[in-house]
A = this chain, B = another copy of it.
């Protein structure tokens, strides 16, 4: 029988005392449940001085924001912890540190990041972290390179692919990214003002063909161990620091998916800024997002190429020029997946505050239309957008 039970605050404190590895376990005394995500309980464990010391995170056997009617595997807690441990092995500076995990209880103890803030919240306030995007590029380069065919022994990688098979969480992405937004489905929601654009999008055959191709790549291209959900709400930042968290969607998939998700969330903020902050500030913020986009891609690319030059293990893939060729495919994939993130976050199940928190309805609809049209354009023209400068130039052109 499973030992699983849902933690209350006292359970979380007791668990942290046992497994957090702090030198004064009895000083841990309170737990505040701070989970604001869709899927889990998150306890902040404080000591007698009220200082937050560690995080205890437990998966619930259903989708929290929907309720017990949408059951969801507890195995995602194991996958999350094991994904973060693998990524942490190669990029400890940008991966949340997992101190302990227990698959049966679906629980893990993580380092406390109270001195960090969620990147999305900061972006909403117009706060700029000039190093964050390149640090995210570093995280993606290290985690994706070291779990790819360039670096992992082929037999070892196959065992890892099997260990990280994540059917239920992948299905959420398969449905919410690539299927629901393009059909009438009860999980979608959007303002009635957008109905004409949504109808046009669902009738756009070249778009639907390109989305099918993206879905098929998501379903079958096991290129590297992805984070699987690396949006600005899964990233903690502080001055000069960045940490990825929340990897329950981890699996072996196409690298472009992680890059596209990250890029898409920068562009969602870009689209929302005119509705979020004053005009002058919005213009500055948009330039920062385009710079973030450039920093993200170029730091990812540069580090990946350096790692490929220094550490590629497969002799056939080590040939000069191959990593560049491969990254060009990843780039085109990323642009397409980025477009699908823009669309699904605007008219699908899970929205973002970058758009939905805009108070004025007309302005909000304008920003959402922008996100939709940008997403549509990115998906369709992805194979023709050759590099980051071409992408940025075209985004500027489209306003």
Q: Chain A: residues with CB nearer than 8 A to chain B?
A: 149, 154-155, 157-159, 161-162, 165-168, 170-171, 174, 178-179, 182-183, 205, 208-209, 211-213, 215-216, 219-223, 252, 314-317, 319-322, 325-326
On whether the beta carbons of B154 and A161 are closer than 8 Å, the reply is: no
Q: A220 — which chain B residues lie within 8 A by C-beta?
A: 149, 221-223, 252
Q: A315 — which chain B residues lie within 8 A by C-beta?
A: 179, 183
What CA separation (Å) do A154 and B314 show in the bound complex?
30
Min CB–CB distance A186 → chain B (angstroms): 15
- Complex: chain B residue closest to A222, CB-CB: B220
On whether the beta carbons of A319 and B157 are closer than 8 Å, the reply is: no
Min CB–CB distance A130 → chain B (angstroms): 35
> Is chain A's interface secondary structure helix, strand, loop, or mixed overall?
helix
What CA separation (Å) do A326 and B161 show in the bound complex?
24
On whether the beta carbons of B212 and A319 are closer than 8 Å, the reply is: yes
19 A–B contact pairs at CB < 8 A? A154-B170, A155-B167, A155-B171, A157-B219, A158-B165, A158-B170, A159-B165, A182-B316, A205-B320, A205-B321, A208-B322, A211-B316, A212-B317, A213-B325, A215-B317, A220-B221, A220-B252, A221-B221, A221-B222
Known: A178-B316, A319-B205, A319-B208. A216 touches B326 (CB 8 A): yes
On whether the beta carbons of B171 and A161 are closer than 8 Å, the reply is: no
Min CB–CB distance A172 → chain B (angstroms): 11
Min CB–CB distance A156 → chain B (angstroms): 8
- Complex: chain B residue closest to A162, CB-CB: B162
Identify the 3 closest CB pairs spanning chains A and B, nearest first. A155-B167, A212-B322, A158-B167
What CA separation (Å) do A115 and B269 show in the bound complex?
69
What CA separation (Å) do A209 and B158 show in the bound complex?
23
What CA separation (Å) do A291 and B349 show in the bound complex?
52
On whether the beta carbons of B314 and A215 are closer than 8 Å, the reply is: yes
On whether the beta carbons of B209 and A319 are closer than 8 Å, the reply is: yes
On whether the beta carbons of B179 and A154 are closer than 8 Å, the reply is: no
Min CB–CB distance A82 → chain B (angstroms): 15
Min CB–CB distance A336 → chain B (angstroms): 13
Q: A212 — which chain B residues lie within 8 A by C-beta?
A: 316-317, 319, 322, 325
Centre residue among A179, A182, A205, A319 by max chain B CB count within 10 A = A319
